[in-house]
Amino acid sequence: MPREITDREAILSSLKSLELTSELFVEVNGKLKNAGDLEVIVDGRDYGNGKRVGPYVRLLAYDSGEAIMRQGEWGGNTFYLSVSGVLDVYITESATEQRKISRLQPGTCFGEMAVLAGVERNATVIVPQHAKATVLEVTRPALRLLRKLPMFGRVLDETYRAHGFGRALEDLSQPGRVADDEIVERLRDIGKFMVYAKHHALCQEGTPIDKVLLIKSGWVRRVSGVPIDATSTGIAVGIGESPDDRQCVDALDQVVDVSLVESDGSDVLLSIGPAGDGHVDFFVHPQRQLTVAVECHVG
């Protein structure tokens, strides 16, 4: 079990030492610009009448071999900032085997995908043998305050995309998947990781076919022959809800020809490429968020 370090000065020192959170300590005219936010994050604040917010961080010390988070766990309320010591990242390949995929250096943000995308942990992070590490555990409400910091907001977005993209490619490279090593490396060079909100139009009928989408999670609605209102592109009519209208797709090099495509977390490839005729529209389902793990432009 980790040991919590409750010393306030140690927590402040850790936050100040990290480039991601150092902007909390910027001074203007001799006073901390973000003093109020820093107080809530570190100490919490009592508003009276029993209403209290924060604190939103804990400083935790881990010993050799201890896990900070485990693949498959639902930890959507917390993410982490490594303060000292390196950390190893593993993914589960079978019931008894894990494979190391990377090593995190001090100052790295991790675990953010569970918070931002509402998904289970997609990797296990462990302190290497014969080593120790210290991390800041940050709870979800702190994001509203930390995102005010330009550096933190930019790095969080970059980290989220990098971790999501890297894990998607790792999944594709597993034995029995449709992509061989050459394809995975090509995707690494030309692809990008995207998250789309509901009502976003992925492609529109009659426009040139110019991209391939590998969908990691979420729902997509397909509409054909329905005019698109530019002010409300999420409207989808004529969509049946019977089992015949619902199909999981794992095909390559063809346009999907179903009314509703559902992904339950397994990889679904919509190959909108030269083999199709372009006469379909794909929308993000009006009640869901879509994670496009890999988006590649054709041409």
Do 165 and 23 reside in the same domain of the chain? Answer: yes
The answer as to whether 24 is a domain residue is yes
State the average pLDDT over residues 213-227. Answer: 70
Do 139 and 32 reside in the same domain of the chain? Answer: yes
Do 131 and 18 reside in the same domain of the chain? Answer: yes
User: Cα–Cα distance between 98 and 89 in angstroms, integer?
Assistant: 10
- How many structural domains comprise the chain? 2
DSSP letter at 238 equals S
- CATH of residue 80: 2.60.120.10
Which residue, among 236, 282, 235, has the nearest Cα to 263 in the 3D structure?
A: 282
Q: Which of 19-23, 55-59, 73-77, 128-132 shows the lowest mean pLDDT across its residues?
A: 73-77
Do 20 and 77 reside in the same domain of the chain? Answer: yes
The answer as to whether 185 is a domain residue is no
Please say if the pLDDT value at position 230 is more than 90.
no
Of the two residues 221 and 296, the one the predictor is more confident about is: 221
pTM of the model: 0.66
Do 69 and 130 reside in the same domain of the chain? Answer: yes
- CATH of residue 217: 2.60.120
- In 148-252 the beta strands, taken as DSSP E runs, fall at 194-196, 201-203, 211-223, 246-247
Q: What is the pLDDT of residue 283?
A: 56
Mark which of 105, 140, 172 sits at the end of a domain. Answer: 172
Helix (H, G, I), strand (E, B) or coil at 23: helix
Do 133 and 74 reside in the same domain of the chain? Answer: yes
Alpha carbon separation from 113 to 74, 137, 196, 226 (Å, rounded):
11, 14, 15, 35
State the average pLDDT over residues 178-192. Answer: 79
Mark which of 110, 139, 172 sits at the end of a domain. Answer: 172
Do 121 and 221 reside in the same domain of the chain? Answer: no
Mark which of 172, 207, 224 sits at the end of a domain. Answer: 172
Do 10 and 152 reside in the same domain of the chain? Answer: yes
Summary mean pLDDT of the chain: 76
Do 131 and 51 reside in the same domain of the chain? Answer: yes
The answer as to whether 178 is a domain residue is no
Kindly indicate the confidence band of residue 152, based on its pLDDT and cuts at 50, 70 and 90: very high
User: Cα–Cα distance between 79 and 289 in angstroms, integer?
Assistant: 21
Q: What is the pLDDT of residue 218?
A: 72
Do 13 and 124 reside in the same domain of the chain? Answer: yes
User: Cα–Cα distance between 210 and 297 in angstroms, integer?
Assistant: 5
Distance of CA 123 to the CA centre of its chain: 12
Range of the domain at 71: 3-172
Residue 213 main-chain phi, psi, to 5 deg: -120, 125
Of the two residues 51 and 4, the one the predictor is more confident about is: 4
What is the dihedral sign for C-alpha 41, 43, 48, 49?
positive
Note the pLDDT tens digit of each residue in 235-274: 333 333 343 333 333 222 222 333 333 444 444 433 333 3
